[in-house]
Chain A
Amino acid sequence: MHRMMDDYALLSPLRYTNNNLKMIIAAFGILVGVSSTSPIPPLFIALCMSFATVYLGKTNKKVYLQILGAPVGFSLAGIVIIAFFFGTGPELFGFDVFGYRFSVNTGGLNMAFLVLARTLGGMCCLFFLALTTPMVELFSVLKAWKLPDVFVELSMLIYRYIFVFLDVAISIKFAQSTRLGYKDMKTSFHSLAMLSSTLFIRAWEQGEKLFVSMNSRCYSGKLVLFEAKRPVKAPEIVLTAAYFLSVLLLLYFTKNVQMVY
């Protein structure tokens, strides 16, 4: 069974820290990253966030790098284009293709580094949040943001039953595969159609059964959510304050620092 990000979040010890604090840290990192003119603050943010995720959140290093790989890969492809086609300034290097000059100038290279740094910083902040906040905590957050109750209750039920139906779908798929249900395109479509219709019917039946069992436990129409109170602890505040301060100082002092001149 593949592990999803939610599973890692559930195993992380940082799941018990205050959600608002985590969101403020992540939002701060993203905002500073986006407003910085030098690539150094976002890179510093990326470093801090990664450290927090891997060492404090106890996420597996290899898994973290794998997850980070996707957006970084995209961004690398993008910055090559930026480096070659944007910016002004003295040319650094280039080459000719069929008489057209492809060159990288200082402005373009700086912009490329900046974009890479910002992407890295922003993604690390986001993954910090995603890998330390499981879905079950997000329900309390949704409720605190005054989202309509029915929406939150639906989310809770859907979350729980995604896994139930995932198992059913996987079992049906295996059962079909062992009887050559996916041997060619036509058969595959047919099998897929049968799988989806069965799944739909099972989902409906599950809803009926759940209603009976909830009634048997005196369901009164409201799902009251039990929110654990997560107080913010002193060391967390100190660490966060130190982090914010160092980032802001770095932002101020590296205002005009670029990678190449």
Chain B
Amino acid sequence: MSFSKLGLRTVALGYLALLLVAPVAMIFYRTFEHGLAPVWEAITEPNAIHAFWLSIEIVAIAVPLNTIFGIGMALLLERGRFRGKVLLGLLVDLPFAISPVVVGLALVLVYGKTGWFGGWLTEHGIQVIFSVPGIVIATAVVSLPFVARETTPVLRELGTDAEQAAATLGASTWQTFWKITLPAIRWGVVYGVVLTTARALGEFGAVSVVSGRIEGQTQTLPLYVQGQFENFDITGAYAAAVVLALLALGTLLAMNILTRRTRGRTTV
């Protein structure tokens, strides 16, 4: 038993070493190979700082929206009764199967100046494309399915016994959800949120089409990375990429801490 366990571990870790650890190590190496000072200079550059905060802002809006949507959709798909569930599930996955650049294009076709709602939006002085709301929408679209898809299998595995018991005991739907369902699906939600955040942070393709890349205004951190590459500032590009990686790691850490804290309070 322990021999095969060791074997499994070796294979898994070997695969990860080649595919994951080596590239990440490479990134860190390339970032710091000229020392700490150029990195610090690069990330404290005003455009970099603005790009950082813009990305945070986008994530702070898109991720909660997608989380609520994802949980709601998972509940609908697993606990609701209606026809066309498979179709609905596919709709949620839809944006994900489209190349990000095309997602951006589609958004411009709908919300751009010459798009379907272009006239109406211009009349009311609302700018979606080439402004922050457009970036939020594009980011939300490409990171849409994760919470739903992570939560659905867990919900199904869960079964409805505990929820039904709570209902017969007089618990309201909100109580049942908050006290029974949510704690049971928390790991699905956690990983869904982590994936959504990671994707939202790193999104480049769709955002590059809808943002307009105005430095200091609509340039997210990934766009900044691209810009620095194009401008021969390799250290700056890598430094910003490291910041993104650290943000993703931080999200996972935060979610882990949050989940462990609530663990104690949710035993039924």
Q: Do the two chains belong together in a single complex?
A: no
Q: Which residues of A contact B (CB under 8 A)?
A: none
